[in-house]
């Protein structure tokens, strides 16, 4: 399998609304820190949960974290770098 297998052509975020799943354009939040990107996505999708990466994940830093709106983080496992390598900025879940 090629390293870029499954990579989006541009920055995207995964939107899950009930049983509907779609990829949305994330170019507007790509490059933003986690807090700012979360605020924008939560405003665009009220009453949703947001898991997001910041610039460290976008730049494939091996200690990049995943952060959610509660301030909880998963880090030191390469999860943020993996999402960044796939051009996946966030996962937004509502429903």
From first to last of its 95 residues, the chain has per-residue pLDDT tens of 455 678 999 999 999 999 999 999 999 999 999 999 999 999 999 999 999 999 999 999 988 999 988 777 877 788 999 999 999 999 999 98
Q: What is the third-level CATH fold of 12-94?
A: Aldehyde Ferredoxin Oxidoreductase;  A, domain 1 (3.60.9)
Check residue 69 and give its pLDDT: 81
Task: Please tell me the pTM assigned to this model.
Answer: 0.90
Parse the chain into domains and list their residue ranges: 12-94
Per-residue 3-state assignment (H helix, E strand, C coil) for the chain: CCCCCCCCCCCEEEEEECCEEEEEECCCCCCCCHHHHHHHHHHHCCCCEEEECCHHHHCCCCCCCEEECCCCEECCCCHHHHHHHCCEEEEEEEC
């Amino acid at each position: 399998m090629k390293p870029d297998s499954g990579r989006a052509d541009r920055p995207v975020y995964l939107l899950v609304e009930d049983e509907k799943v779609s990829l949305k354009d994330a170019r507007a939040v790509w490059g933003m820190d986690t807090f700012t990107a979360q605020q924008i996505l939560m405003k665009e999708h009220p009453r949703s949960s947001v898991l997001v990466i910041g610039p460290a994940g976008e730049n494939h830093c091996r200690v990049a974290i995943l952060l959610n709106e509660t301030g909880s983080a998963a880090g030191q496992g390469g999860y943020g770098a993996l999402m960044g390598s796939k051009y996946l900025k966030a996962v937004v879940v509502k429903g």
